[in-house]
Amino acid sequence: MSKLAGAQILWECLVREGVDVVFGYPGGAILPSYDAMLQYPIHHVLVRHEQGATHMADGYARASGRVGVCVGTSGPGATNMVTGLATAMMDSVPIVAITGQVGTKVIGSDAFQETDVTGVTLPVTKHNYLVTHVQDLAETIREAFYIARHGRPGPVLIDIPKDVQLAQTEFEYPTEPIHLPNERLLEKYVPQEYFARAAELIANAQRPLILAGHGILLSGAMDEVLEFAEKTNIPVALTLLGIGSFPAEHPLCLGMMGMHGGVYVNEAIQNADLLLAMGMRFDDRVTGNLKTYSPNSKKIHFEIDPTEINKNVKVDVPLLGDVKQSLQKLTPMVEPKRHDAWWQHLQRAMQEDPIRDVLDWESPDGLMSEHVVHDLWTATEGEAIVVTDVGQHQMWEAQYYLHNKPYTLITSGGLGTMGYALPAAIGAKFAQPDKEVWVIAGDGGFQMTMAELATVAQEKIKINIAILNNGYLGMVRQWQEFFYDARYAATPIFSPEFTKIAGAYGIPGYVVDNRADVQAVLDKVRSSPGPALIEFRVKMEDAVYPMVPAGANLHDMIKREKIAQPV
């Protein structure tokens, strides 16, 4: 058997895991691995900051369903990854992060660029490893990929000291099945006897509602959810990360729930007598005040993670396991049904939709973000992969860009990571090179990671960037307007001329400040072969409506005042 260095074993294993692109940044402690990389069919994307590498791996994973991989050096290289790991952890995204570490002989001595990376990342990874013997490397990598994608996915970090990368051992790729110490424990949490009870609740429900979450996309259960919903005629409400799990324009789809969800969607939740929560975790942004949350409903929770059961909301029937398998079992057990009275009620409520109201508005006092997103949706026929940052524009995207297809909205939900959009979009483009990819970002978040424009230019990838520039950290400003008597502490934000920034990287830029020009610029950018950036100068003090204030009752929403429209 041939002997290989740890650095070679790393790439041998990654290639066998199907990896062909990694996002990273070299440095001293990871140098042996970078040197070995040249021998392998791996495309390395050089990022400008390791946070970008983690978000790229994240965007790659969300757009492809495969494990995304990022690489960095020890110390600052690894600590820069923490935000991206935490983002992936909160949103259950399978990524594997490889970090170099100082040599095993000096670990613990505060050596140059030494950080206790497994310690630092313990709470923000699903699992992590410090490999101290080259003999363990291959199996550790294999196990890391398994853990990242298995069950509820998540990020896994492997810290590899420099001497382990250099040490040689006989390499044989392990082939026996992976058994984790805790695997039988998780099986123990899958009692299957609740299906009959669930079917009974569904048969007796008068006002049932499906809450569709990210788990459906992670499980690939879109067809099963559609079949179940159509058979039972049950309306579907989406979480932010559940967008795409059910076609937005399907007659059964009500739209997004929660803090900036539709008024009638939240009212449906509050009035329902049965909630079918599928792959969602009752986050505070979708429940509002837990004490008054959907008080009269029975709840069935389709959930793969036993720690989510009864964590925030007490449920009547937990269906533990993969939502796809659970639905394959449950759907044949339920009868077709109609819920005419419930649908009549919902349709009446839908007539009053403050989200759709503004689409017909003239906007003489400035370009409206809502209109920009709507026009982008029209121009792309709803087919683009849209990657958002975090804030007002993110909510407007969720409200006005209707996603009928899965894996087409990529956004940081749980952690709410500003600066996510541009790097995640780069990752998404590598995952889906034939798809049209759009970044929608605010002027604040974009400035956090805009150094990655250099990565776009160096890699010559075609992504389109829409910055909704309102001169504020808009969502924070909105909270200040509503809850802090409009004292705008530290929210007005200066921005450079974004078109010049883009120009410095050789990326064409455009400025649009009125609606009449939106379509033409979108067309121009879409038809050009290279990347482009558009700065939309939008109304400064627009707010996202409707809104449930944090911790308030889900049905107590702040609504947009009706404004008489100029004729």
Which residues form the interface with another protein (CB under 8 A)? 108, 116, 118-119, 122-123, 127-133, 135-136, 139-140, 142-143, 147, 174, 178-182, 184-186, 188-189, 305-307, 309-311
Nearer to another protein, 306 or 549 (CB): 306
CA distance 261 to 251: 17
What DSSP string runs through 459-501? Answer: HT---EEEEEE-SB-HHHHHHHHHHSTT--TT-B-----HHHH
CB of 137 to another protein, least distance (A): 9
**Residue in 37, 81, 101, 162 annotated catalytic:** 162
Nearer to another protein, 91 or 535 (CB): 91
Nearer to another protein, 135 or 292 (CB): 135
Nearer to another protein, 314 or 460 (CB): 314
CB of 518 to another protein, least distance (A): 46
CB of 188 to another protein, least distance (A): 7
CB of 125 to another protein, least distance (A): 11
CB of 318 to another protein, least distance (A): 11
Answer whether 464's CB lies under 8 Å from 525's CB.
yes
CB of 239 to another protein, least distance (A): 22
- Who's near 359: CB < 8 A, 6+ residues apart? 370, 371, 374, 400
Answer whether 286's CB lies under 8 Å from 263's CB.
no
CB of 109 to another protein, least distance (A): 12
What DSSP string runs through 81-106? Answer: THHHHHHHHHTT--EEEEEEE--GGG
> CA angle, corner 90, sides to 87 and 95, nearest 5?
60
CA distance 354 to 545: 7
Q: Which of 154, 304, 281 is nearest to 213 (CA)?
A: 281
Nearer to another protein, 193 or 434 (CB): 193
Q: Which of 275, 223, 262 is nearest to 245 (CA)?
A: 223
**Residue in 12, 50, 224, 436 annotated catalytic:** 50
Query: Kind and range of the H or E element at 199?
Result: helix 195-204
CA distance 554 to 551: 8
> CA angle, corner 497, sides to 496 and 502, nearest 5?
105
CA distance 64 to 218: 11
CB of 119 to another protein, least distance (A): 6
Our answer to whether residue 126 is catalytic in this structure is: no
**Residue in 3, 39, 105, 112 annotated catalytic:** 112
Q: 3-state DSSP: the chain helix, strand, coil percent, rounded to 5?
A: 45, 15, 40
Our answer to whether residue 475 is catalytic in this structure is: yes
Answer whether 22's CB lies under 8 Å from 45's CB.
yes
Q: Which of 26, 42, 43, 22 is nearest to 34 (CA)?
A: 26
Three-state secondary structure call for residue 298: strand
CA distance 261 to 7: 49
**Residue in 222, 475, 547, 557 annotated catalytic:** 475
Nearer to another protein, 181 or 364 (CB): 181
Q: Which of 21, 27, 7 is nearest to 64 (CA)?
A: 21
Three-state secondary structure call for residue 155: coil
Q: Which residues pair with 274 in a beta bridge?
A: 208, 298
Nearer to another protein, 296 or 307 (CB): 307
CB of 174 to another protein, least distance (A): 7
Our answer to whether residue 50 is catalytic in this structure is: yes
Q: Which of 86, 183, 174 is nearest to 128 (CA)?
A: 86
CB of 43 to another protein, least distance (A): 28
Q: Which of 503, 436, 438, 499 is nearest to 464 (CA)?
A: 438
Nearer to another protein, 306 or 416 (CB): 306
- 3 DSSP assignment: E
Q: β-pairing, 274-278 with 208-212?
A: parallel
Nearer to another protein, 299 or 371 (CB): 299
Nearer to another protein, 127 or 329 (CB): 127
Q: Which residues are catalytically annotated? A: 50, 112-113, 162, 475
